[in-house]
Structure 1
Amino acid sequence: MNRPFVIGIVLFIVVLAGLLFLLKHKPKPPQVQNHNESAATAAPAQKTEEGQTQRRINVKLFFSNGNSTQLLPEERSVQYQDTLLTQAKEVLNELIKGPTGDLQSTIPDKTQLKDLFITKDGVAYADFSQELAGGMPGGSTAEMNTVFSIVNTLTLNFPQIKRVQILVNDQAVETLSGHVDLSHPLHQDLSLVPQTSEPASPQTNQTQPS
């Protein structure tokens, strides 16, 4: 048996062994985190014209009816997010945008959500910009509507969130305009929501490609 032939066989064995090793140790694709922490569930995947998968969920945002302390729900479709935290941020940002119908916004103009934290015990800390306090029109009704539109929107859409504490510019505040105690996390207040308004667990729907 000549030397080149032996070398060829050896190289073939080495290459084959390398391929078998790579196939055996090929990394598994990462699993996409689902909404095991959220009331939302994944909608069936649908491809857009760009080939991207797009999912939506329906949530209920709570706005003022204008003349009382009642908060009325407005259903809105928002983009599906993979975690409770990012989905809750998405919902709060939609609340800040205000209503699309006849209801009135409860969040002062130019207010921004700076950050959101959710503890393992189900307490959400929602940190807003200074405009949340500085833009308040005054009066107990307006402050009550602002505070509990935030609290109820989070707790009714996401059962994992039990209480909400509102922060302003990274700091705990005693109140926004002197009427509602914000020094501790707040539970939802269903007395502000008409009895005909059911708790707002998000329902999934699918977006049609444009």
Structure 2
Amino acid sequence: MSTKKQRRIVQVQQRKKKQQMKTSLLVAIVTVTVGFLILFFVTLFHFVYPPAAGRDAAARSRDKVACTLYFNDANERFLVPEKRFIPREETRAALAEALVKSLIEGSKTGLTATLPGKAGLRKVEIEPDQTVSVSFAKSLPELHPGSSTSELATVYSLTNTLMANMPEIKRVRILVGDEAADAIRGHVSLKNPFAFNQEIIAPVARAD
């Protein structure tokens, strides 16, 4: 049989083991808690103060402007406005280019396109007299349907879209291969720049 002294020694050893276990558990809990807090505050800091590149990208993704694009109706008789959000551009020329590219991409609501999907946009420039010059690739006439109604739709979807979203613009000039052309396919003269055409807009949309 063990003596009282031996039992006391065993009890002391057991208490030490329990104390060591408690200490180890406490250290583990503190370590995990501190690690979690560090991770939390680092994440919070980067969320509140993101890196410059991240801030710029986030700003660009959120910074969009509402615009109105004009596409053909189902019968290709009138232009119908379609609301769209596009990234905000730093210059007016860049905004004009973005609007034209959006027209080339086509409608998002099932309206009829007014420009061929493969229409090559060469450049967009704003002249001192506030005329926008839109230059397409030389292949535009080959890609275009060519009817008089299609040409009218192309001309005025471009003109109305640019002038509706850029009120300071006075006229829109259409070039082919960076040069003045008689017409896209021989129906609508391109010799002179165009102004906003209210009459070609669908009556219901016009009333709105």
- The answer to whether the superposition gives a TM-score over 0.5 is yes
- Under a length normalisation based on structure 2, what TM-score does the superposition of the two structures give? 0.68
Amino acid at match of 2:157: S
Cα distance in 2 between the residues matched to 1:159 and 1:195: 22
- Under a length normalisation based on structure 1, what TM-score does the superposition of the two structures give? 0.68
Match of 1:148 among 156, 173, 179: 156
Say if 2:188 is the partner of 1:180: yes
Q: Which residue of 1 aligns with 2:9?
A: none
Residue 69 of structure 1 contacts residue 144 of structure 1 at CA under 8 Å; is this kept in 2?
A: no
Say if 2:197 is the partner of 1:189: yes
Residue 182 of structure 2 contacts residue 189 of structure 2 at CA under 8 Å; is this kept in 1?
A: yes
Task: Tell me the secondary structure at the aligned position of residue 115 of structure 2.
Answer: coil
Q: Which residue of 1 aligns with 2:131?
A: 123
**Structural RMSD (CA):** 2.2
Unaligned runs of 5+ in 1: 1-46, 200-210
Amino acid at match of 1:100: K
Higher Rg of the two aligned structures: 2
How many residue pairs were aligned?
154
Matches within 5 A, 1:8-87: 50-52=54-56, 53-54=59-60, 55-87=63-95
Cα distance in 2 between the residues matched to 1:175 and 1:195: 27
Q: Which one scores higher on RCO, CA 8 angstroms, separation ≥ 6?
A: 1
Q: CA deviation at 1:138?
A: 2.2
- Higher fraction of helix: 2
Cα distance in 2 between the residues matched to 1:107 and 1:60: 16
Residue 110 of structure 1 contacts residue 131 of structure 1 at CA under 8 Å; is this kept in 2?
A: no
Matches within 5 A, 1:104-123: 104-123=112-131
Match of 1:90 among 91, 98, 104: 98
Q: CA deviation at 1:197?
A: 3.0
Cα distance in 2 between the residues matched to 1:198 and 1:85: 27
